[in-house]
Structure 1
């Protein structure tokens, strides 16, 4: 007879401060998709990919979608096993140990504020079509302040706010898809042979394997963010079952919401050469198909989508710092205020405000430095997640063999395909980066951040027995 599930304090410990478990799967998905911002990904990252990789975007983003869904399965299994706040940090810390946890904590502590700054500095470019003369820096500062204030409201309010913005950006993507599919200029089979613009001749030329791999890398980066659902696991009802669904739904919707309009643009553009040669390919297609007035409205919607993403990422950033402080991953005098939860909103207000201040400071960093500091960290994060997924399945199998019930945990299908393919894709990205001197600075910064995390563990956490060690706690009954 199987024994009852054992208390998994590593998965459920709350260290005294708890967030409000008031989100359903839908609310979690709304906030997670808002952080991904499919519309801004299509206009910014998708547009850059079209200019560089041409029709290779179709295969590149399709294959990137497959890889992203496999990585999402890793997140889903880990999140089901450890449904608490903190995102990648909490998962890796509890599965691979505090040394790896410290490295991932440093990755996210640095990159989340920098990503907020990058997004905020780009808002003026899109709002500028309606409000002339906006200063990018002051626009960014105002947007970050307002987003941080909004992120301090209760989680259900944030789900409604981000959901409303998300509806607007999804409508913009639907318009792109309709415009492309209504007047198809070429059969879909034309996309099967990847071709990009040859700057020398002005015509199309075959895209090599290396270019296609880079297009896949761009697609993976464009889809990134579905793992953000883990940040809100502690606020999601019936988390052991619901969090896996939230991650997978977020990934599926993201891939479809980006791949479909990009494919529609490739099929509906009057001239692929003109599309790929345009300074802003997606905006160029929109203006040519719907006119300038509609383009202005859609670009304002993209600006709102970016603001929405900043709110969602501010929510994630606050929960990262809150979770690390609650774990004791920093000195007590610093950790205590950051690990508090507002009695009124059940939100980690102090941690959210601190991360907002860091994002404000990042706005004064040169833009190219911001891009280099965030460019290669994603691959490292996915690598830790894939390794953690392998480790957590081995732990679950051992518990099952000992007679413990593990039926409550989500188990990804086709094991171990997902983590193995993810690790292979990440290894490919590293090889490409190492071979490209232009990526060395970004890789070096990412490696330096990780080295700083391990050094922090060696010099502080390991020497302080109460730091970053999971404390005994009662099982949270609402996780079942």
Structure 2
């Protein structure tokens, strides 16, 4: 039987730095991403999830007070973002909070965090891709007066079928969501630098579209729409905050690029903070104008809501068409970065022996983990095609919250165990900031639905069983060894 010392063995930070080449600026993966592109990762992974379609889920619960739901979620995310900034500057490797947990809490907790990250990244990519179909149909209807058949743009359960996974006539699969995942996978296989450049262009477009929404939307301001402001009180605000919290996942996505960033100790924390300020400002402005321009009752069941608001204000279809086109680009960007993050987390886990070496295998020409990317894309395509968006969003939220909580704990642990580590950024008001971050995460978690929490606990249990069966035995740390990079043409030993 393994001892507690074995289960909670920590991976030395110097070994992590050596593997990633963070100090020598050499890495198994290509260091080709600069500060602007990295900031665009954070902005691109965040804007386009919550603000483009989750208002239809959150406003019916919180009413116009959904503004405070965004403030609450943003405050917790902001507290955690500065914790991420410190850990990313101290441990600038791929793997995000999985790697941070391995360095601070130990191997077994790291596996639990990895399970959270699989929800946070893999499931959120599915949720975002589902929303893409709604805006694609809005765009096609406005431009070509055509919509894709509902049987091919919804999950089976959304089509009104008995969710027994038997074929039915109402809905078969969300095909546009599956196609989006395939396109993203092809781009990621081509290269990280190319993916980062494409994302940066898409981010600039989406920012322009949201600014346009703010400028036009404010002309439709109607104070009467803000009353009653909080029909369900504080409970509605906190419940909605839990649903929309997954929209802040982009702040975490920055940290997954640790081994492909130039000057990571400086650029990782800077990019996280730049993304935090940009995203929070836009979320608050857009949500405020949206609930002031449209009665709260009209958000329920409304697809492509921002487009509809502008069409109602102007009496014309062109603003809605632009918003729909911007959302199509925006959600492509989100999906791209989230799937990228998922593959890099699995890459780090495989390097540690927690997963088969297949996930660590890198193409020698593109320097990207091709088999890893193909497997991730296939699984997410199934989620996006067959699972309804509301359940996907809640599962993403709880995975994100637990990962954020662990990062906040990790900051305090690393301050005690490795005070000598060079840090490009330090958490202000330590230790108050990480403690408040932990409290905020717990506060939002306890407001999630019981079924979400139970499914999450079952999922973490499955991950721990995987560790018991495979990870513990294959752990490179346990073997006191490190297996180097395996290229496609090589055979793993």
* Alignment partner, residue 41 of structure 2: 31
The question of 1:160 aligning with 2:202 is answered no
C-alpha change, 1:171 and 1:17, in structure 2 (3 Å) is closer
Pairing 1:299-448 to 2, within 5 Å after superposition:
299-330=324-355, 334-335=356-357, 337-363=358-384, 365-367=386-388, 370-371=392-393, 373-397=395-419, 399=420, 406-433=421-448, 439-448=449-458
In the TM superposition, residue 116 of structure 1 has moved relative to its aligned partner by 2.4
The question of 1:233 aligning with 2:254 is answered no
For structure 2, the 5+ residue unaligned runs are 1-11, 141-145, 154-173, 485-493
In the TM superposition, residue 464 of structure 1 has moved relative to its aligned partner by 4.2
C-alpha change, 1:156 and 1:462, in structure 2 (3 Å) is closer
Residues 177-186 or 98-107, more deviating: 177-186
CA deviations on 1:374-406 (whole Å, 9 max, x unpaired) are 352222222222211221122233x3xxxxxx4
Q: 1:279 aligns with which of 289, 302, 306?
A: 302
Once residues 50 and 13 of structure 2 are traced to their aligned partners in structure 1, the CA distance between those partners, rounded to angstroms, is: 41
Once residues 391 and 59 of structure 2 are traced to their aligned partners in structure 1, the CA distance between those partners, rounded to angstroms, is: 24
In the TM superposition, residue 26 of structure 1 has moved relative to its aligned partner by 1.0
Once residues 219 and 412 of structure 2 are traced to their aligned partners in structure 1, the CA distance between those partners, rounded to angstroms, is: 45
Q: 1:116 aligns with which of 119, 125, 138?
A: 125
Verify the 8 A CA contact 1:103 1:454 in the aligned structure 2: yes
Q: TM-score, normalised by structure 2?
A: 0.80
The question of 1:212 aligning with 2:237 is answered yes
* Alignment partner, residue 265 of structure 1: 290
C-alpha change, 1:301 and 1:381, in structure 2 (3 Å) is same
C-alpha change, 1:469 and 1:22, in structure 2 (3 Å) is farther
* Alignment partner, residue 9 of structure 1: 15
In the TM superposition, residue 460 of structure 1 has moved relative to its aligned partner by 3.5
In the TM superposition, residue 473 of structure 1 has moved relative to its aligned partner by 11
CA deviations on 1:356-390 (whole Å, 9 max, x unpaired) are 12222334543266456435222222222221122
C-alpha change, 1:389 and 1:372, in structure 2 (3 Å) is same
In the TM superposition, residue 77 of structure 1 has moved relative to its aligned partner by 0.9
C-alpha change, 1:372 and 1:47, in structure 2 (3 Å) is closer
* Alignment partner, residue 146 of structure 1: 183
* Alignment partner, residue 272 of structure 2: 247
Residues 383-392 or 16-25, more deviating: 16-25
Once residues 238 and 475 of structure 2 are traced to their aligned partners in structure 1, the CA distance between those partners, rounded to angstroms, is: 45
Counting matched residue pairs gives: 438
Q: 1:45 aligns with which of 43, 46, 54?
A: 54
CA deviations on 1:25-50 (whole Å, 9 max, x unpaired) are 111111232222x1342131134323
The question of 1:195 aligning with 2:229 is answered yes
* Alignment partner, residue 201 of structure 1: none
Once residues 369 and 54 of structure 1 are traced to their aligned partners in structure 2, the CA distance between those partners, rounded to angstroms, is: 20
C-alpha change, 1:469 and 1:358, in structure 2 (3 Å) is farther
For structure 1, the 5+ residue unaligned runs are 1-5, 197-204, 400-405, 434-438, 475-480
In the TM superposition, residue 455 of structure 1 has moved relative to its aligned partner by 3.0
Cα RMSD over matched residues? 2.9
Q: TM-score, normalised by structure 1?
A: 0.82
* Alignment partner, residue 98 of structure 2: 89
* Alignment partner, residue 170 of structure 1: 207
Partner SS state of residue 128, structure 1: helix
Verify the 8 A CA contact 1:233 1:243 in the aligned structure 2: yes
Verify the 8 A CA contact 1:86 1:320 in the aligned structure 2: yes
Verify the 8 A CA contact 1:372 1:445 in the aligned structure 2: no
